Amino acid sequence: MALIVQKYGGTSVGSLDRIRNVAQRIKRLKDEGNQVVAVVSAMGGVTNKLIEMANELSSDPAERELDVLLSTGEQQSIALVSMALHELGVEAASVTGRQAGITTTGNHTRGRITDMEPALMQQYLEEGKVVICAGFQGIRDDGLIHTLGRGGSDLTAIAVAAALKADLCQILTDVDGVYTSDPRVVKDARKIPEISYDEMLEMASSGSKVMQSRSVEFAKKYGVVFEVRSSLNDNPGTIVTEEHDQMESVVIRGVSIERSQARVTVTGIPDTPGMSARILSCLAEAETNIDMIISNIAHDGLARHSFTMHSNDLGRVQAALKPVLAEIGENSQVETEAGIAKLSCVGIGMRSHSGVAAKMFEALGAAGINIGMITTSEIKIAVTVEESEIERAANVVHNAFGLEGTPGKLNPS
């Protein structure tokens, strides 16, 4: 008998039919002799609808009340899933975040889980019941209802799996797993059988969003191995786990793309200590989300900084830079470029293989695709290209690393 924690996202419980489908799947696991805890999101669209209503009533809804409001979405779905199970003759009990013993801390609507007391869930499991646990919610250390940030049901599932020492944790969603690239863009993209936490995090931060990043970090911290798979079929998914030696034989695990990026370059910056800090802290205060940062010294001895960001943030970045520019003086100028996109190659194999960047740039060059900015981390190489070229670029790079064939081996060339 195994203890299995599953998480069903909003799409998977998006209608009563889908809820019946979820109940069938849970029943099957139970009939096979397993103990099952299912963590459930609000029905698809419900959380957004609640936020819309709050914003219609108030220009600045109190976050305490938002938490009370948003947590109701999951409370609906856990009760409905339990009822669907009862209809199938399966004993099931729903639990809210409080009843699941999830303690959180932090600001309203952005809770972090600090402790788990799963006694009630354990009792229900011992009584032979299936437990249906509300995702995305907990009780703050001061006793108030708390939500965990958008997509937070993933985090609940990982935390519940850790607390119950589950044998298996499955994140069931509307895709079959994590792919080598976006299958809508790269026709040859394949499902990745196994990926390390770090690769999953890099892919998520570079545009391949399958799960909430914080929950992947949490899983890494507590060593929770989990599988991302579809709630609509029985295909095996992608296992997300600690890295091991064999993983490094694959150079590139995946190619992610992120569209709608923009670049801002500030030129004519005096090459003196503290200037970068001054510029970046202005951007941080304006709560703009900067992605790539590149700085260098031009031939005139003055520094230039380039940043990329989502194009929605471009206006805010420009506004935030105004006061700094005034300080820097007349030599400084700002250039902007919208309509760019980011292409990232991710793989822990990069640590032990050389020539990865060269191969990526050669492939782009041979296809006549111009590279804008370049940044790297230990396991990622990212470049910007014209947005109109991003789909071709993704295909060219995906091909160059043979990702459609033997997973990620460097082509013999």
**Footprint of ligand ASP (CB under 6 A):** 9-10, 41-42, 47, 73, 135-136, 150-153
Which residue carries 């600045």 as its tokens? 60
Q: Which does 14 bind (CB under 5 to 8 A by kind): ligand ASP, Mg ion, none?
A: none
Residue whose CB is less far from Mg ion, 209 or 322:
209
Nearest to 9 by CA among 145, 160, 150: 150
Residue whose CB is less far from ligand ASP, 161 or 394:
161
Is-contact 283 271, C-beta < 8 A?
no
215 lies in the binding site for Mg ion (CB under 5 A):
no
Nearest to 227 by CA among 179, 180, 168, 175: 168
What amino acid is encoded at 243 in this protein? E
Rounded Cα gap, residues 230 and 238, in angstroms: 10
Compute the least distance from the CB of residue 46 to ligand ASP, in Å. Answer: 7
Compute the least distance from the CB of residue 153 to Mg ion, in Å. Answer: 7
Q: Which does 372 bind (CB under 5 to 8 A by kind): ligand ASP, Mg ion, none?
A: none
135 lies in the binding site for Mg ion (CB under 5 A):
no
3 state DSSP class of 290: coil
Nearest to 344 by CA among 209, 239, 236, 215: 209
Compute the least distance from the CB of residue 159 to ligand ASP, in Å. Answer: 13
Rounded Cα gap, residues 119 and 129, in angstroms: 14
Residue whose CB is less far from ligand ASP, 42 or 125:
42
Compute the least distance from the CB of residue 156 to ligand ASP, in Å. Answer: 8
3 state DSSP class of 312: helix
What amino acid is encoded at 122 in this protein? Q
Q: Which does 136 bind (CB under 5 to 8 A by kind): Mg ion, ligand ASP, none?
A: ligand ASP
Select the span of 2-10, 111-119, 215-223, 232-240 touching Mg ion (CB under 5 A).
2-10
Nearest to 376 by CA among 362, 387, 361: 361
Compute the least distance from the CB of residue 12 to Mg ion, in Å. Answer: 10
The residues that touch Mg ion, with contacts defined as CB under 5 A, are: 10, 41
